[in-house]
Amino acid sequence: MKMSETITLERIERYLSLTAEAREKATPITSNKLDEVRLADMLRMCDDYARDARHFASEGDLVSSFGAINYAHAWLDAAVRIGFLDGHGDDRLFTLP
């Protein structure tokens, strides 16, 4: 097995940190109340999945943790992609439109 195929606690921590950095950097650019409600739901999902990732890691379930942190970051990417969040041109943290 190649090292790049191994899920480690260090890798999980790196992705948790990356997602936290992206969560902090992105700023709302919603244009109406309905979009604000949708964005709030997307950000809650991001936070919930990040919390799940931490929980799974603490239990030693690194596979579930890795999956959860990727879901968390995907919610941020989706919000940037559809125009609810501004990713400020950062293609390291976001999949930009």
DSSP string of the chain, one letter each residue: --GGG---HHHHHHHHHHHHHHHHH-EE---SHHHHHHHHHHHHHHHHHHHHHHHHHHTT-HHHHHHHHHHHHHHHHHHHHTTSEE-TT-TTTS---
pLDDT tens digits, 15-73: 999 999 999 999 999 989 999 999 999 999 999 999 999 999 999 999 999 999 999 99
Q: Is the pLDDT of residue 81 over 90?
A: yes
Give the CA radius of gyration of the chain.
Answer: 14
Name the residue with tokens 């879901």. 71
CATH topology of domain 7-86: Substrate Binding Domain Of Dnak; Chain:A; Domain 2 (1.20.1270)
